[in-house]
């Protein structure tokens, strides 16, 4: 079946602009995660969704970052007033169960470049 998809694959924006990144999880996966990967770095947790609610937003770096999930499926990560330090690859992952011991399947990521 189809895996996790993300769009756009690449996004170049100017400092100060807002951007929206989209994630389509695997059908039937109740848990959805956003991570950020900076160049040559590990993956940094941003936010976790269980269904449409976000019980863990602890990784969002500032109030410029927000995310929502509708219909227990698609999720959108929004970055307002982008800064150069926001440049990174944003990865989405989904898993079948909301409990921790379930494989997370990653999307291909969105490479964000803030000029």
- Contact residues for other proteins (CB under 8 A)? 31, 33, 35, 41-45, 48, 50, 55-56, 58-59, 91, 95, 98-109
Q: Which is nearer to other proteins, 81 or 97 (CB)?
A: 97
Q: Which is nearer to other proteins, 34 or 114 (CB)?
A: 34
Residue-wise DSSP of 41-110: --EEEEEEEETTEEEE-TT--STTEEEEE-TTS-EEEEE-S--GGG-EEEEEEEESSSSTTSPPEE---E
How many angstroms separate the CA atoms of 112 and 17, rounded?
12
How many angstroms separate the CA atoms of 105 and 98, rounded?
13
CB of 99 to other proteins, least distance (A): 5
> Could you tell me the two tokens for 114?
């803030």
CB of 15 to other proteins, least distance (A): 25
CB of 100 to other proteins, least distance (A): 4
CB of 89 to other proteins, least distance (A): 10
Q: Which is nearer to other proteins, 8 or 16 (CB)?
A: 8
């Amino acid at each position: 079946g189809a895996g996790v998809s993300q769009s756009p694959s690449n996004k170049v924006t100017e400092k100060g602009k807002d951007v929206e990144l989209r994630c389509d999880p695997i059908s039937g996966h109740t848990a959805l995660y956003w991570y950020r990967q900076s160049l040559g770095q590990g993956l940094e947790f941003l936010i976790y969704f269980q269904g449409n609610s976000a019980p863990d937003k602890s990784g969002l770096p500032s109030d410029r970052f927000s995310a929502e999930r509708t219909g227990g499926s698609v999720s959108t990560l929004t970055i307002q007033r982008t800064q150069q330090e926001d440049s990174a690859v944003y990865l989405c992952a989904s898993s079948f169960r909301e409990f921790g011991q379930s494989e997370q399947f990653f999307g291909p990521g969105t490479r964000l470049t803030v000029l």
